[in-house]
């Protein structure tokens, strides 16, 4: 009797795991899109066109941003951003067009730069002007063009890709991610 009860419990546990895995797999399967040089790619309702702009050794903050940043630093909310990178600012331009019917939030933190060895670089917010990505609510059927940059040890021969990864801060309604080659694409 105990043996049959034990078997029933084990079968029940396995059944619960199987059902849980079945429903969980629908939630976390990610569709990965890869785009060649110059090709726009759609992630969820947003059509992205990402282009390499240039490298910079210095990006000057606006006077308005310096004042706002100082107030935030004094309150202990943030650390100062750097106008001068540790290595080189690798700047990209992103055109994002909302093809859907609802407002979609998009942040610079959803973009990452990858090199040949798949080293991931996060974007750096400097505060040099209105065209810099921080937080954008994309209106339906409208497009915006913004820039962001990454502090990297730039290599002229290296291939660079931008990854677009939705997260809880924006575009959280999609299970798609995209990788777009923007420099030295083969």
Three-class SS string for the chain?
CHHHHHHHHHHHHHHHHHHHHHHHHHHHCCEEEEECCCCCEEECCEEEEEEEEEEECCCCCCHHHHHHHHHHHHCCCCCCCCCCCCCEEEEEEEEEEECCCCCEEEEHHHEEEECCCCCEECCECCCCCCCECCEEEECCCCEEEEEEEEEECCCCCCCEEEEECCECCECCCCCEEEEEEEECCC
Query: What confidence score (pLDDT) does residue 59 get?
Result: 77
pTM of the model: 0.73
51 part of a folded domain:
yes
109 part of a folded domain:
yes
Query: What confidence score (pLDDT) does residue 28 get?
Result: 56
CATH number for position 139: 2.60.40.1240
77 part of a folded domain:
yes
40 part of a folded domain:
yes
Query: What confidence score (pLDDT) does residue 69 get?
Result: 77
For residue 49, the enclosing domain spans 31-183
143 part of a folded domain:
yes
Dihedral, 173, 149, 128, 49 alpha carbons, nearest 10? -50
6 part of a folded domain:
no
Query: What confidence score (pLDDT) does residue 56 get?
Result: 85
Contact 92, 148 (CB under 8 A): yes
**How many folded domains does the chain comprise?**
1
Query: What confidence score (pLDDT) does residue 90 get?
Result: 92
Query: What confidence score (pLDDT) does residue 107 get?
Result: 84
93 part of a folded domain:
yes
Contact 107, 134 (CB under 8 A): yes
Query: What confidence score (pLDDT) does residue 3 get?
Result: 84
22 part of a folded domain:
no
Q: What is the mean pLDDT of each run of 10 residues along the chain (186 residues)?
A: 81 86 63 81 91 84 80 81 85 93 88 93 81 84 93 93 83 83 86
């Amino acid at each position: 009797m105990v043996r049959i009860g034990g078997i029933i419990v084990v079968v029940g546990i396995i059944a619960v795991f199987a059902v849980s895995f079945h429903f969980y797999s629908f939630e976390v399967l990610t569709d990965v899109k890869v785009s060649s040089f110059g090709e726009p790619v759609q992630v969820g309702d947003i059509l992205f066109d990402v282009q390499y702009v240039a490298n910079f050794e210095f990006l000057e903050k606006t006077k308005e941003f310096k004042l706002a940043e100082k107030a935030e630093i004094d309150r202990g909310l943030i650390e100062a951003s750097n106008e001068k990178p540790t290595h080189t600012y690798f700047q990209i331009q992103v055109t994002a067009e909302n093809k859907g019917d609802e407002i979609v939030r998009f942040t610079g933190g959803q973009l990452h730069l990858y090199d040949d060895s798949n080293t991931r670089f996060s974007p750096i917010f400097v505060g040099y002007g209105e065209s810099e990505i921080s937080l954008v609510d994309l209106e339906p059927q409208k497009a915006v063009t913004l820039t962001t940059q990454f502090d990297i040890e730039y290599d002229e021969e290296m291939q660079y890709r931008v990854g677009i990864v939705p997260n809880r801060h924006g575009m959280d309604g999609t299970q798609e991610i995209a990788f777009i080659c923007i420099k030295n694409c083969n």
